[in-house]
Amino acid sequence: MNIKQTYFDILSIIPENKHRKLFIFFIKSILNGLLDLISMAYVVPILILFFDPKKLESMVSTHLNYTINLHSSWVLFLSLGLLLLFFIKTIIQTKFNSALYRFLFDISTELSMASITNFINEKYLQFQKEDKGKILQSITTVPDDFCRNLLHSFIFLFSEIFVLIIILTSLLILYFKITLIILLVVLSFSTFIYFIQRRRFLLFDTIYHKSESKANNHILNILDGFLEIKSSQNEEYFLNEYKKEKSLLNNVSAELISYYSNYSKYLEIFLILCLAILTFFSFQKNDTIVLFSILGAVCLRLIPSISKIMNGITMINSHFYTIEVLNKIKHKKERGINIFNSTIELRNIYFSYGKNAILKNCNINIKKGSFIGLKGNSGIGKTTFIYLILGVLEPQKGNYLIDEKEINIGNFLSFANYVPQQPFLFKGSIIDNIVMGQEKANINYDYIFFLCKKLALHDVIEKLNNGYKTILEHNSLRLSGGQKQRLAIVRALYTKPDLLILDEATNQQNKSLEQQIFIFLKELSINSKTTIINVSHNKDVDSFLDDIYIIKDEKLENIIDS
């Protein structure tokens, strides 16, 4: 691990507005360690005072050139003062820890938001290529692992190294030979254990990176294929696939946590062995007691310090994959086109998926307020052409013009709204599903009621127990397929789009309801100049259309020209 490069990698990931605060926490963590040293510094003389007062008098006289009377009352007051300082130190450290963890999880939230924002701003083709399990991992697990395991360990790594250096320097000054022996033994043991386990830590990093996304994909498979999995009686296969990856993850986590807990125990055992060996040296009785007392007190901080350093390096190596994942986040948002006054024109459009050509030399001129139909056999490229109009796909060749001005396309047109055959519903009230996050104070309830009445939904909703406040689950079964489609159309119309695209969005309606919907859409087309493109095989609605285009043999033909 290159500490300098890791530091710069961390800075490149953390939002810039957090850099200064991160540096402050680095300094505070070192000061926090210094407080521990100060408390340890006054524990040592108290122990010497208790076991061998004459030695303390000698040390003060030798090193400070000062004579003290240990039987005077000021010694008692000094001891009480040191006790008070210990309590103050504890309060300061608890407040520091609380502030640090709030800071870390604030960063985790921002990184999670950056990840999901990066995902939702991707171009459609890139979205199609993405591993959805990895997307979930980068949004949920990775930011938390980065902040809670890697960044937290990195911050404390410096403070613990600082503490270790001060403790060892002090001990080397007081008891050079013995400290050097213990130091060499402990560091040799620590290094030996670390290098034995290093390959496993790198393996942990790989498993965390890969298995989490695989487990997420198995969850998505089960959620998306619920009915098909149950009807084919393949539940056991999908559950076992998920269990395999989840068990691997949990086994790695268990091993890592146990290593984190057990490392200090190994160090304690070695230290006890070292101290036992030292009893065979020719120390006088009082010196031995004092030495053991001092080393015991110091080791209350020394062993945890060495343990934290090794564990910190372990956690960084085991979660280094988070840096690789988070470094791929692009903090960029491309704005869609939001102006449409007269025409949208596509000229000589060519589009293919790889070598498979879908559309060749296609031309269309869409006038504002027109009602256009798009037809063609299944799989012929209708939805692809709609995505080209919406701007979510970029043609390999051809020109895209809005109001006779050529633009670079590839981002969703902000003045358009799209209703697919299978509408999206999320957990929330019916109103929430219509307004999609609009502030309650700005919701136009009258317009919602108007749209619902026009689309024969108002009475259906009012019959529900809580009316428009009824909570729907994700892809709720409380509404029929046709009712969901009409709710999706209400949602699309509520934004008053200049361009509305319906992709088989009424194919679950009965004939009379579909006619009612298209009568209203025609009114919007004429009176509000809403441009509508309807993808449908149904000839019953052709009478409402101004133009009808058909995709055939990779070409776009106008079979009715207004």
In a domain, 518, yes or no: yes
pLDDT tens profile 496-525 = 999 999 999 999 999 999 999 999 999 999
In a domain, 553, yes or no: yes
Q: Is 230 a residue whose pLDDT tops 50?
A: yes
Q: Please give the average per-residue pLDDT across 216-229, as a whole number.
A: 82
Q: Tokens representing 240?
A: 């076992």
251 or 60: which leads in pLDDT: 251
Helices 285-318 and 53-64: crossing angle in degrees, nearest 10, is: 70
DSSP state of 540: G
Token look-up 């020719």 returns 282
In a domain, 14, yes or no: yes
| CA nearest to 453, candidates 393, 516, 502 | 516
Same domain, 322 and 251: yes
Same domain, 312 and 387: no
Task: Read off the CATH number of the domain in which 550 is found.
Answer: 3.40.50.300
**Cα–Cα dist 144/112, whole Å:** 8
- Where a domain ends, among 302, 327, 352? 327
H-assigned helices in 414-555: 430-435, 445-454, 458-462, 481-494, 511-527
Q: Is 345 a residue whose pLDDT tops 50?
A: yes
- Where a domain ends, among 267, 300, 327? 327
pLDDT tens profile 61-73 = 665 566 666 565 6
**Cα–Cα dist 246/517, whole Å:** 48
pLDDT tens profile 466-501 = 999 999 887 677 888 899 999 999 999 999 999 999
Are residues 138 and 11 in contact, defined by beta-carbon separation less than 8 angstroms? no
Same domain, 358 and 259: no
Q: Is 282 a residue whose pLDDT tops 50?
A: no
Q: Is 99 a residue whose pLDDT tops 70?
A: yes
* Percentage above 70 pLDDT, the chain: 78
Same domain, 137 and 229: yes
Q: Is 185 a residue whose pLDDT tops 80?
A: no
Q: Is 535 a residue whose pLDDT tops 70?
A: yes
Are residues 363 and 347 in contact, defined by beta-carbon separation less than 8 angstroms? yes
Same domain, 169 and 203: yes
Q: What is the pLDDT of residue 479?
A: 86
Confidence of residue 212 (pLDDT cuts 50, 70, 90): confident
Same domain, 315 and 349: no
Confidence of residue 246 (pLDDT cuts 50, 70, 90): confident
In a domain, 297, yes or no: yes
Q: What is the pLDDT of residue 458?
A: 94
Helices 235-278 and 285-318: crossing angle in degrees, nearest 10, is: 160
Least confident of 306-310, 381-385, 392-396, 467-471: 306-310
CB atoms closer than 10 angstroms to residue 84: 10
Would you call 395 helix, strand, or coil by DSSP?
coil
CA 335 to chain centre: 23
The domain total for the chain is 2
Q: Which of 53-62, 103-112, 301-310, 413-422 has the highest mean pLDDT?
A: 103-112
Least confident of 282-286, 299-303, 403-407: 282-286
Helices 152-174 and 176-224: crossing angle in degrees, nearest 10, is: 170
pLDDT tens profile 125-167 = 777 778 888 888 889 889 999 998 899 988 888 788 887 787 7
Q: What is the pLDDT of residue 311?
A: 78
Same domain, 65 and 145: yes
Q: What is the pLDDT of residue 336?
A: 55
Task: Read off the CATH number of the domain in which 195 is found.
Answer: 1.20.1560.10
Q: What is the pLDDT of residue 432?
A: 92
Element (H, E) at 533: strand 531-535
- Where a domain ends, among 297, 327, 357? 327
**Cα–Cα dist 388/401, whole Å:** 12
Q: Is 285 a residue whose pLDDT tops 60?
A: no
Same domain, 300 and 353: no
**Cα–Cα dist 434/242, whole Å:** 35
Between the CA of residue 205 and those of 115, 145, 277, 319, what are the distances in Å?
Answer: 20, 11, 39, 5
Q: Is 314 a residue whose pLDDT tops 60?
A: yes
In a domain, 337, yes or no: no
Q: What is the pLDDT of residue 364?
A: 93
Same domain, 514 and 367: yes
295 or 439: which leads in pLDDT: 439
| CA nearest to 212, candidates 130, 145, 269 | 145
Q: Is 426 a residue whose pLDDT tops 70?
A: yes
**Which amino acid is it at 197?**
Q
Q: What is the pLDDT of residue 372?
A: 94
Mean pLDDT of the chain: 81
Q: Is 367 a residue whose pLDDT tops 60?
A: yes
In a domain, 338, yes or no: no
Q: Please give the average per-residue pLDDT across 448-477, as a whole number.
A: 90
Q: Could you tell me the residue range of the domain that residue 217 belongs to?
A: 3-327
* Percentage above 90 pLDDT, the chain: 28
Cβ-Cβ contacts under 8 Å for 125 (sequence gap 6 or more): 393, 394
Same domain, 323 and 264: yes
Element (H, E) at 108: helix 74-120
Same domain, 12 and 149: yes
In a domain, 455, yes or no: yes
Same domain, 315 and 387: no
pLDDT tens profile 6-60 = 888 888 898 888 999 999 998 888 888 777 767 666 665 666 666 566 665 666 6
pLDDT tens profile 371-387 = 999 999 888 889 999 99
Are residues 475 and 489 in contact, defined by beta-carbon separation less than 8 angstroms? no
- Lateral strand order in the sheet of 397-402: 356-367, 343-353, 397-402, 405-406
In a domain, 359, yes or no: yes
